Amino acid sequence: MAHHHVPSLEDTKTTLDGLGGKVFAVSAAVGVIGLVVSIGLGLAEGDDLRHFGYSYLVNFAFFLAIALGALFFLPIQYVTKASWIIVVRRLVEVMAASLPVLALLAVPVVVLAGRIYGWAAPEAGSDPLLAHKVAFLSPRWFTIRWAIYFGLWTWLSFTFWRRSLAQDATGDLRHTHKLENFSGFALLVYALSVSLAGMDLLMSVDYIWFSTIFGVYFWAGGLVSFFAVLTLVTMGLQKTGRLTHIVSPEHFHDYGKLMFAFTFFWAYIAFSQYMLYWYANIPEETGWYLLRSGQGWGKVGMVVLFAAFLLPFAGLISRYAKRNRKMLAFWAAWIVVAQWINLYWVVMPEYSHDFVFSPMDVTLFFGIGGTWLAAITRLAMGRSLVPMKDPRLDDSLRFENA
């Protein structure tokens, strides 16, 4: 008879303490070296950083989507009054609060826009189709919109971050109330800004092509990667003896369900977009897919189909897989890679109609990823990794899948 008492925060370590400094130093070093090496590689191409720009866009979009996934998951928890997740909510808050750092990392995209986006290229002006949308697709408006997006996202993420920290100190219930009321509004702002930002960032690389669902497609893919990263981060912390006992297989089971469900959702959105354009077969719409299904990119597309949907779907369908730590870690890592390949497939064919892959794609992954990891580590340092005075924390600790 194993009388399991509800685990308490005393059972485990809930701060980064010594580890924080180390992770920060290493990831910051990886980030800086990655970025510097990438610039070197980019300059060595001798194309005025054009290839670098595309490669940067892939990796920036990837990490931005993850942080935006976190920014979605926070208000969702508050509006649904979900309690199971509270024990790891601080990790989500940290990831969302990294958005101002991603704003800094967005600067190269804005600066290099002329090399990435056809509409921003100096020679683009004569196209009548572009003339039609110049009120939207112009370097000035692009810059202003990104300033607005990051302004909104910073405001949203810091509202959650600050109030949650404040509650750590006082346990004041008013913070929960405020955030519950704030969250509905936050989701509205989020939906409008993220959808438009997805179109700005990735869809407008081909300024002729359009798809009403594209913002949802960008968002859904990011959400899948976010759940995968959250799983990996939680597991990583547990490996160092942090958050053990209090984050149980029950919580991991739910991580697994979320990865599974949103993998399916992402595929549903991807299919809707693809099938409708395939079916209607209108040149201005199918061009985008035509480019991505020939000359080497078609094979990448197949890799995306299998790696980002069919395999993780089959792999995560059983309860056993979701509750098995090693399998869950495997699929989380797999999903991160698969979603990255998906973004690569979305962006890179616009750089080169033939398949390309360069070391820069990897060094930029570590450059941006390292910087981002350093940022979230820095935010988490010196603070509790658990929102310890949240009124529903106890429910989260005793959570069990029925």
* 237, 181 contact by CB (below 8 A): no
Nearer to other proteins, 177 or 353 (CB): 177
Nearer to other proteins, 229 or 247 (CB): 247
- The least distance separating other proteins from the CB of residue 279, rounded to whole angstroms, comes to 4
- The least distance separating other proteins from the CB of residue 302, rounded to whole angstroms, comes to 12
- The least distance separating other proteins from the CB of residue 236, rounded to whole angstroms, comes to 10
- The least distance separating other proteins from the CB of residue 151, rounded to whole angstroms, comes to 20
* 80, 51 contact by CB (below 8 A): no
Nearer to other proteins, 121 or 191 (CB): 191
* 52, 42 contact by CB (below 8 A): yes
* 179, 160 contact by CB (below 8 A): yes
Phi then psi dihedrals of residue 15, to 5 deg:
-130, 160
- The least distance separating other proteins from the CB of residue 361, rounded to whole angstroms, comes to 28
> What is d(CA 6, CA 118) in angstroms, rounded to the nearest whole number?
58
CA-to-CA dists, residue 240 to 15, 18, 244, 280, 382, angstroms: 11, 11, 9, 54, 16
Nearer to other proteins, 52 or 399 (CB): 399
- The least distance separating other proteins from the CB of residue 97, rounded to whole angstroms, comes to 22
Nearer to other proteins, 169 or 402 (CB): 402
For 213-242, the DSSP string reads THHHHHHHHHHHHHHHHHHHHHHHHHHTTB
* 364, 36 contact by CB (below 8 A): no
Nearer to other proteins, 52 or 146 (CB): 146
HSE, side-chain direction, 13 A CA sphere, residue 305: 10
Nearer to other proteins, 166 or 323 (CB): 323
**Nearest-CA neighbor of 12 among 344, 244, 194, 217?**
244
- The least distance separating other proteins from the CB of residue 349, rounded to whole angstroms, comes to 19
